[in-house]
């Protein structure tokens, strides 16, 4: 009877460890400073605004797009993402890109945008 309890406890600890590892490796932190994000050697979510003075480059042949993102300090980073840009991407006020820096380029796996709301009061 004791062996069953011991086996059950070991199995619970093993699967609990796997869950903790999976959660910690899939989680990412938010950064609004590209220099700090580049120093981290893991997946991060960088927050910035789309540099509208630079064109969004879309490569339909390779199914990817790239753009320049500006952080709150004015630092710029090139972002490359597989797939096509989200709807209304060019009109976004804030962009959150999830991915990792490699050689001063941010390779994103996911892009989220916040667009200006038609319900917000217009400021003159």
Question: Residue 124: inside a domain, yes or no?
Answer: no
Task: CATH number of the domain at 102, please.
Answer: 2.40.50.140
For the stretch 68-123, pLDDT in tens is 999 888 889 999 999 888 888 888 888 999 999 888 899 999 998 887 766 555 55
Please enumerate in sequence order all residues whose Cβ is within 8 A of that of 28, keeping only pairs 6 or more positions apart, or say none: 42, 43, 44, 45, 98
DSSP 8-state code for residue 87: T
The pLDDT of residue 5 is: 80
Domain that holds residue 100: 29-114
On the question of pLDDT at 53 being above 60, the answer is yes
Indicate the pLDDT class of residue 67, thresholds 50, 70 and 90.
very high
Please enumerate in sequence order all residues whose Cβ is within 8 A of that of 83, keeping only pairs 6 or more positions apart, or say none: 63, 64, 65
Count of domains observed in the chain = 1
Question: Residue 21: inside a domain, yes or no?
Answer: no
Total-model pTM: 0.69
The pLDDT of residue 107 is: 93
The mean pLDDT value for 18-33 works out to: 68
Share of the chain above pLDDT 70, in %: 85
Angle among Cα 66, 23, 63 to the nearest 5 degrees reads 20
Question: Residue 52: inside a domain, yes or no?
Answer: yes
């Amino acid at each position: 009877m004791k062996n069953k309890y011991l086996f059950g406890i070991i199995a619970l600890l093993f699967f609990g460890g796997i869950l903790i590892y999976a959660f910690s490796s899939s989680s990412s932190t938010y950064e609004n400073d590209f220099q700090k994000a580049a120093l981290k050697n893991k997946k991060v979510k960088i927050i910035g605004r789309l540099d509208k003075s630079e064109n969004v480059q879309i490569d339909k042949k390779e199914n990817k797009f790239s753009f320049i993102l500006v952080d709150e300090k004015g630092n710029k980073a090139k972002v490359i993402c597989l797939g096509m840009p989200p709807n209304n991407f060019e009109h976004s006020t804030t962009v959150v890109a999830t991915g990792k820096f490699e050689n001063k380029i941010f390779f994103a796996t996911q892009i989220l945008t916040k667009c200006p709301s038609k319900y917000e009061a217009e400021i003159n």
